[in-house]
Amino acid sequence: MVTPRCVRKCSLCFRRRAPLPGSLGMLRAARGGVRLLLPARGGDAAEGRGGPVPHLAPAPPARVSLPPQRCLQRRLLQQAPPPSAPPAVGRWLLACSGAVAGAVVLGGVTRLTESGLSMVDWHLVKEMKPPRTQQEWEAEFQKYQQFPEFKILNHDMTLAEFKFIWYMEYSHRMWGRVVGLAYILPAAYFWQKGWLSRPMKGCVLALCGLVCFQGLLGWYMVKSGLEEKPDSYDIPRVSQYRLAAHLGSALVLYSASLWTGLSLLLPRHKLPETHQLLRLRQYARGTTALIFLTALSGAFVAGLDAGLVYNSFPKMGERWIPDDLLAFSPMLRNIFENPTTVQFDHRILGIASITAVTALYLFSRKIPLPRRTRMAVTSLLAVACMQVGLGISTLLLYVPTPLAATHQSGSLALLSVALWLMSELRRVPK
């Protein structure tokens, strides 16, 4: 403990005074309080001179006050924010977002090769072991032959061709299990180590729950393509609504993981909160939402094979607005079920996205921005132009599988750069 300043002054005063005859004692300052020491000798002499010695009660213990430095340290500790997660957590989330991107691209290739309905049942552990013998492959092929896709579309398929589409779907499912383990196992480790703050724990739980939901939603989507539809003469395919839900949940999982990882790893810029910066931040959010919506509309294009309807650009056939744009009744069905309308909507959203990105780039030139933020804006414009070129080429060449898969990967790249720009424009907390 530290002696109070007032007590130290008093002790100095007692030391500077001349010793009184038969003094009662002296006052000492020591750590832990103040003690009054009475003399063992000279009591009688003091009584003879100055009367009886009054009995002095011991002084109450003085209140100990901390030095200003210690008080300041305590206040800083109380006001300091909770410790942030270590960089390992941010790198883990970025790796998980990359794994989700791989699953999205692989799922797109599976859809383009029409391999998604080759595995007609779903088991969490049992299906991890592929067929090995000829008898096992023939039994798997016989199960596939009982469903509409073989009866209507692939009735002349050989066993070798079936093995190709089966392995495509098998790789997509196994990759999904790898993604689930990549989320759950490190999350349990970081949780046990105490590296996750309370808000981060909620975020990690939501991400792990979304991974599990994504797997169940994938099987729910596949079941829609295995159902018998006696009244339909169309090619057997999964429901475009369930396909959009499956892709949409994957995009949400990817965006949340990437955003959280960037927030943990990239320091925030101390930008002046001007009116122009606030407008730029709002434009960036709106542009990112538009890019997300455009990517989601691609699920309806893939689900209805709408990319094979009008393979010309900028016109659709010989007209700017095709005649069968609103052929279905009621009118709302055209947005989600008419291939012509679905392709038309995807074109409009793509044009709106490149226009918004260009306007965002031109507006950002008027604002002084850090080098890394400027790089994000320029990269967003470059990736957007590349994505538009890939989309037009895919349409004009009648949707070749490699080019269509690259176009789908480009949508993820464009969304990633948009999220990076939003991370660069984050507000510094007060």
The pLDDT tens digits for 55-87 are 445 555 555 555 555 554 555 444 444 455 688
pLDDT tens digits, one per residue of 204-261: 999 999 999 999 999 999 999 998 877 666 788 899 999 999 999 999 999 999 999 9
Report the pLDDT value the prediction gives residue 126, as an integer from 0 to 100: 79
Report the pLDDT value the prediction gives residue 16, as an integer from 0 to 100: 44
Report the pLDDT value the prediction gives residue 430, as an integer from 0 to 100: 53
Report the pLDDT value the prediction gives residue 186, as an integer from 0 to 100: 96
Phi/psi at 35 (5° precision): -120, 140
Check if the beta carbon of residue 207 is closer than 8 Å to that of residue 254. no
SS3 3: coil
- CA distance linking residue 300 with residue 259, whole number of Å: 26
Check if the beta carbon of residue 287 is closer than 8 Å to that of residue 280. no
- Exposed, middle or buried, 239 (CB in 10 Å: 0-12/13-18/19+)? middle
The CA distances from residue 425 to 107, 169, 261, in Å, are: 32, 40, 15
- CA distance linking residue 328 with residue 24, whole number of Å: 111
pTM, two decimals, is 0.79
Report the pLDDT value the prediction gives residue 13, as an integer from 0 to 100: 43
Check if the beta carbon of residue 399 is closer than 8 Å to that of residue 239. no
Report the pLDDT value the prediction gives residue 235, as an integer from 0 to 100: 81
- CA distance linking residue 353 with residue 64, whole number of Å: 67
Q: Which residues of the chain have pLDDT under 70?
A: 1-85, 231-233, 428-430
Residue type, 184: I
